[in-house]
Chains A and B, each alone.
Chain A
């Protein structure tokens, strides 16, 4: 698997740390209640197909990326800077 870092270009998967589902970008309000926080922390869509993950280019530029890829084929569809999603 190779990821196309927007800053560094296409790099081997070994350069990246996998953080988890990109649901972590949608952090609930601190007062959203236990149900919202339980859902955010534990429950997952876990799709067989297109999914969004957070990856860290730890052996490269250090950027956090949102990677859209296919869990059935391991095809990487898009790599975007996570900052662009949150700002």
Chain B
């Protein structure tokens, strides 16, 4: 399907009746080369890169709900590569490069906008820490600028520079970071995968994984049994439940993360601002709504909705950072179910079962990883070897203690990230 200004005008005149679905709605076949469980951003990009990079097109993506209905449609749309530790650093660097070429690659407008991600610091120690992180980012080949308070003021004059508890000591600017249209990312990858022959099967919940003699044979679903030699689990907050179907007990806890959107306002925000001391980050969508979020609710949950204490905390952080938005009304909030790992970093790995692969542990940072995760996961599924930028996302790191990627420095322990 082609999109053009002319087409939009024509459809507007004739009641928008001429648009066609951009991916098929096929019945599941009896057998596939690869079955991807989970039609979220990561699952769709996995299928897309299996087809595009490795020529594996006899692939099914099984989604229990609908495309775009999970976390890929309920996040704060932030894209960045400002990680510090080996393992994470090269992975997110690779993922950001894929973001930068995504629209050309998919021929689809994902509204990728590199409007910058600025983290704020409030003490000498934190500024030193930002200098170290910035150097790590530059060494990785990405961009980072340490900003003075005056430079922060020039970027973001609307924030409170005189807060007694959190005075602005500077910022770390990552100009290649920004935001993207989250739904379009899902739709673009779905369309791209479908065009290459991948079957995207919605309303198809996996109820069992067939394993014989340590080898994957297929899956049971609400739409019948499907045979395959390779099963790729990538189901975010449901990882423990789907993993259990294959006898896996995972280092994952599911927690709820809330996010919020205000009513539409005139342009106010220069890009993404991250107020880490308040566990708060904010940007402005192209429609004008402020999109912001905070920390997880800090108790296990599959409810996809949060409680009031964290809502209060986020609103208080917003008021601490930018009292000017006090009268803006919050239009809506939502919660997503996060697959929290002990060290806050993900897993892309094989399992002890032949043909069974696992991709999980993205915590609250899965959106920016959508292209990189799918690319590296597809590489692992197709070749059996780890893709270099994701080679440290191994499951056994928790047991061995080697190459833990604990960006926050809080320890490899549940409920600290």
Q: What is the CB-to-nearest-CB distance from A48 to chain B, in angstroms, rounded to a whole number?
A: 4
Chain A CB within 8 A of B307 CB: yes
Chain A CB within 8 A of B76 CB: no
> Within 8 Å CB of A87, what residues of B?
none
Candidates B238, B251, B254, B309; contact of A42 at CB < 8 Å? B251
Q: Assuming A1-B307, A13-B307, A19-B415, is B302 touching A44 (CB within 8 A)?
A: no
Contact A46 B254 (CB under 8 A): yes
Q: Assuming A18-B415, A20-B415, A38-B398, is B299 touching A43 (CB within 8 A)?
A: no
Chain A CB within 8 A of B241 CB: yes
Contact A18 B251 (CB under 8 A): no
Candidates A13, A35, A38, A46; contact of B309 at CB < 8 Å? A13
Q: Assuming A43-B249, A43-B250, is B303 touching A74 (CB within 8 A)?
A: yes
Contact B413 A41 (CB under 8 A): yes
The A-B contact count (CB < 8 A) is 67
> Within 8 Å CB of B412, what residues of A?
41-42
Find residues 377-417 in chain B having any chain A CB closer than 8 Å to their own CB.
398-399, 412-415
Chain B CB within 8 A of A80 CB: no
Identify the interface centre among A19, A46, A73: most chain B CB within 10 Å of its CB.
A46
Interchain CA distance A46-B236 in the complex, whole Å: 13
Contact A44 B253 (CB under 8 A): yes
Find residues 1-59 in chain A having any chain B CB closer than 8 Å to their own CB.
1, 13-14, 18-21, 34-35, 38-39, 41-48, 51, 53
Interchain CA distance A67-B299 in the complex, whole Å: 11
> Within 8 Å CB of A42, what residues of B?
251, 342, 398-399, 412, 414
Chain A CB within 8 A of B66 CB: no
Contact A74 B301 (CB under 8 A): yes
Interface residues contributed by chain B, number (CB under 8 Å): 24
Chain A CB within 8 A of B97 CB: no
Candidates A18, A34, A45, A46; contact of B299 at CB < 8 Å? A18
Chain A CB within 8 A of B359 CB: no
> Within 8 Å CB of B299, what residues of A?
18, 53
> Within 8 Å CB of B254, what residues of A?
46, 48, 71
**Chain A interface residue bracket vs B:** 20 to 34
Q: What is the CB-to-nearest-CB distance from A64 to chain B, in angstroms, rounded to a whole number?
A: 15
Contact B251 A48 (CB under 8 A): no
Closest to A46 in B: B240
Q: What is the CB-to-nearest-CB distance from A87 to chain B, in angstroms, rounded to a whole number?
A: 25
> Within 8 Å CB of A20, what residues of B?
253, 414-415
Chain B CB within 8 A of A84 CB: no
Contact A39 B307 (CB under 8 A): no
Find residues 290-326 in chain B having any chain A CB closer than 8 Å to their own CB.
298-303, 307, 309
Q: Assuming A13-B307, A51-B300, A74-B301, is B253 touching A21 (CB within 8 A)?
A: yes
Contact B253 A41 (CB under 8 A): no
Contact A45 B249 (CB under 8 A): yes
Contact A45 B298 (CB under 8 A): no
Q: Assuming A41-B413, A71-B301, is B399 touching A34 (CB within 8 A)?
A: yes
> Within 8 Å CB of A47, what residues of B?
240
Contact B252 A18 (CB under 8 A): no
Q: What is the CB-to-nearest-CB distance from A56 to chain B, in angstroms, rounded to a whole number?
A: 12
A and B contact pairs by CB, cutoff 8 A, 17 listed: A13-B307, A18-B298, A18-B415, A20-B415, A21-B414, A38-B399, A39-B249, A42-B251, A42-B399, A42-B414, A44-B240, A44-B252, A44-B414, A46-B241, A46-B252, A46-B253, A53-B300
Q: What residues make up the interface of A, taking CB atoms closer than 8 Å to B?
A: 1, 13-14, 18-21, 34-35, 38-39, 41-48, 51, 53, 71-74
**18 additional contacts, CB 8 Å, given A46-B241, A46-B250?**
A13-B309, A14-B309, A18-B299, A20-B253, A21-B414, A38-B398, A39-B249, A41-B342, A42-B251, A42-B342, A42-B399, A44-B251, A45-B249, A48-B241, A53-B299, A71-B254, A71-B300, A74-B307
